[in-house]
Amino acid sequence: MRAARDVNATNAEAPAGPSGLEVALTVALALALHILMVCRVANFWNVASSWGDNPAYLQIAAIIRNWHHVSELLYPFFWGFPYAIAGASALFSIPSIWALVTISMLSSLAVSILACRLYGGWVALALYSFINYHLIFTSVEGGSELPFMCLLFASLLAARSERWNLAALLAALSTTVRPVGIIALIAFALVLGIRRSYRRLANVTLIGIGIGVLYVVPLWIIVGNPLANFVRYRGEVWGPQGRPIVFPFSVLIPSFIAFHTSRWPNVVLSAIWLALALGGVAAMWLPRNRPRFSFDRPEIWFASIYTLFYLSYNYLDVYGDLPRFLMPITPLLLFAFRDWIPRDRRVLWPATLLSVLLASAAQVGFKNVFGFKPL
């Protein structure tokens, strides 16, 4: 009964607005338009194959399919997404890059529906607006962000319905895609601890440990080191200290100093996202937002710990990557500021179109999309 009251209270806070089907169709059209914009200028599959971390994911997927590591080069990325790529490629007899793009696009559509279920149609539609156009090209050209977000939001929805074992399973699976998924498990543990639901807490802990063991065993067999991911992260990503977390802002500020020579739109975008994350998390803790972010629900804990993590992340490029890193908490930030979201399709649909154009410009050049160069 308590779960039902929580869901009803959240739904009462968020007017229905666009339905999940409407949001998903809007997102599908946006993704299709982005593909057309890219194809006007370049070969889409060439762009996708070389985009971001895709070469690494494709190589790891090949290692999984062959069940043999033949190269000395091993990327630090977690293997959850490559497992899905290898599985889809083998099941449907399609090239790995096709599987990568298909999984990313389907995950994006699922994210739009899950965000609508969790936070209402207006928030879900605003999620794909120009506020973070990275979401569009990450949905199409591919990357681990959308599969991670899909599992994460599904786990939050399961927790909202008090299905804690399912929530823990989905959150643990998200951790195999991006290790920050463990923050969701921590948030679940905090909530269950606050409720003194120790039996559920034990179940959540055991499920997390179980998925962790199942994940490291193949690494041990193929690579010879069950902690190979962490060893690579420590050597290649986590700075000279070799640890993922330092004092807040102690790396973020030097990262900004190193990044400020980049094009000013990128600097401004990252600054906006930093301010949005800080302001959004602070707003979640205000008394007036208590009905939306109750202490005995995991969203407020997840968003707060997740933001604190990236403020303290020991990665020199963290400032420039903030728009990408903060995508998983974008719906939570929007929900915290939902009173400011225009509840008007005449605003949000053009904003989504602008997101498509900006995403396309990021892939094939601003002039090729808009016909002129930015200042």
- How confident is the model over 50-66, as pLDDT tens digits? 998 999 999 999 999 88
Contacts of 266 (CB under 8 A, 6+ apart): 259, 320
More confident residue, 353 or 294: 353
**Residue 35, SS3?**
helix
Residue 3: which pLDDT band, with cuts at 50, 70 and 90? very low
Residue 4: which pLDDT band, with cuts at 50, 70 and 90? very low
The Cα angle at residue 205 between residues 220 and 88, in degrees rounded to 5 = 50
Note the pLDDT of residue 9. 45
Note the pLDDT of residue 372. 81
Measured distance CA(201)–CA(174) in Å, rounded: 19
Does pTM surpass 0.85?
yes
Tell me the pLDDT tens digit for each residue of 308-322.
999 999 998 899 899
Note the pLDDT of residue 291. 83
Tell me the pLDDT tens digit for each residue of 146-157.
999 999 999 999
**Residue 317, SS3?**
coil
Q: For the chain, how big is the Rg over CA atoms in Å? A: 20
CA distances (Å), 306 to each of 192, 205, 280, 302, in order? 18, 19, 12, 6
- In this model, does residue 232 exceed pLDDT 90? no
Note the pLDDT of residue 36. 95
Q: What does the mean pLDDT of the chain come to?
A: 89
Point out the least confidently predicted range of 9-23, 321-335, 353-367: 9-23
- Go through the chain and tell me how many residues it has: 375
Note the pLDDT of residue 288. 85
Cβ pair 240, 250 in contact under 8 A: no
- In this model, does residue 111 exceed pLDDT 90? yes
Q: What percent of the chain has pLDDT over 90?
A: 63
The Cα angle at residue 326 between residues 157 and 275, in degrees rounded to 5 = 120
Q: What are phi and psi of 189, to 5 degrees?
A: -65, -40
- The average pLDDT across 117-135 equals 90
Note the pLDDT of residue 201. 96
